[in-house]
Amino acid sequence: MTTASSPLYVQLAATLRAKITSGEFPPGTKLPSERALCEEHSASRNTVRLGLQRLVAEGLIVASQGRGYTVRRQDVLVYNASRSEDHDRRVSAGVDAWVQDIEEQGRTPSQKISVSIERAQPDIAERLGLGPNSNVLVRRRLRFVDDQAWSTEDSYYPYDLVRGTPIAEPADIPQGVIAYLASMGHAQTRYLDDVTAVMPNPAQTSELNVEPGVPLLVRTRTGYADERPVRVTVTAMPTDRNVLRYDLGGPQHG
């Protein structure tokens, strides 16, 4: 309970919290600037910042460099881990799997893509069935939802498999990489997922604007064309804004 004897930054946080929970400051609203809050509450800049940091730690607001503080959206997005591999669905939609899923949830997706050729790390080489010092092509994507950094997805391919194809270019592939691989004769027939939860490293915390104490859900998926591994994708998503969904179907009875 906040009382008149509570520190001023606690009282300020309580006032802003009440406005957020009452709907006066709805999700997505930009809060008044630090200067405006200083004047309104006759408080120092440090006091205002302490109050705002308290709300950041509670997950009520988000700090954006150069953009002040915004009331955080409390809804989460569903990442459809099963149907994202549905080749027929992707071909008929004609768009990237993730893009379609986000648009279907009424949000606006975008992504930044970079491509590099690297020596495969031991765990990636093992998953792809490659020998030591083998090269892989890596497509790294920083994904945004409504202009907010949302997740990262790094995909590793045997370099000899995708060399000279659009997969090796730092640009979006309209139908998605899964469908493009299928058009090359490498239709994915099964996949293997490993899902773990880890705390973000400093680079991930900054890149994804992860709130203090929030772990990342990390899914490592190995995709197979028949029995050949053709792709390893590592997806990292903050647990406070994503749900990883699998539709496994029911048991088969003879």
Task: DSSP for 137-156, please give it.
Answer: EEEEEEEEETTEEEEEEEEE
Please list, in sequence order, all residues whose beta carbon lies within 8 angstroms of the beta carbon of residue 7, skipping any fewer than 6 positions away.
none
Is there a contact between 148 and 130 (Cβ–Cβ < 8 Å)? Answer: no
* DSSP per-residue letters across 42-102: T--HHHHHHHHHHHHHTTSEEEETTTEEEEPP---EEEETTGGG-HHHHHHHTS-HHHHHH
Is there a contact between 34 and 48 (Cβ–Cβ < 8 Å)? Answer: yes
Distance in angstroms between the alpha carbons of the first and the last residue of the chain: 61
Orientation angle between helical segments 45-57 and 8-22, nearest 10 degrees: 50
**Rounded Cα gap, residues 111 and 209, in angstroms:** 16
Per-residue model confidence (pLDDT) at position 250: 66
Per-residue model confidence (pLDDT) at position 97: 74
Q: Which residue's structure tokens are 């300020």?
A: 12
Domains of the chain: residue spans and CATH? 8-71 (1.10.10.10), 77-245 (3.40.1410.10)
Residue 48, Cβ density class (10 Å: 0-12 exposed, 13-18 middle, ≥19 buried): buried
* Burial annotation 60-92 (CB, 10 A radius, 16+ → b, else e): bbbbeeeebbbbbbeeebebbbeebbebeebee
Q: Which residue's structure tokens are 């010092």?
A: 133
Per-residue model confidence (pLDDT) at position 35: 94
Q: How many CB atoms lie within 10 A of CB 37?
A: 21
Per-residue pLDDT of the chain (254 residues; tens, 9 = 90+): 566 678 999 999 999 999 999 999 998 889 999 999 999 999 999 999 999 999 988 878 887 766 789 887 767 888 888 776 665 555 444 457 788 888 988 889 999 999 999 999 999 999 999 998 899 999 999 999 988 889 999 999 999 999 999 999 999 888 788 889 999 999 999 999 999 999 999 999 999 988 777 899 999 999 999 999 999 999 999 998 899 988 887 665 55
Residue 165, Cβ density class (10 Å: 0-12 exposed, 13-18 middle, ≥19 buried): middle
Of the candidates 121, 148, 146, the residue with the CA atom closest to the CA atom of residue 63: 148
**Rounded Cα gap, residues 108 and 148, in angstroms:** 10
Residue 207, Cβ density class (10 Å: 0-12 exposed, 13-18 middle, ≥19 buried): middle
Is there a contact between 127 and 136 (Cβ–Cβ < 8 Å)? Answer: no
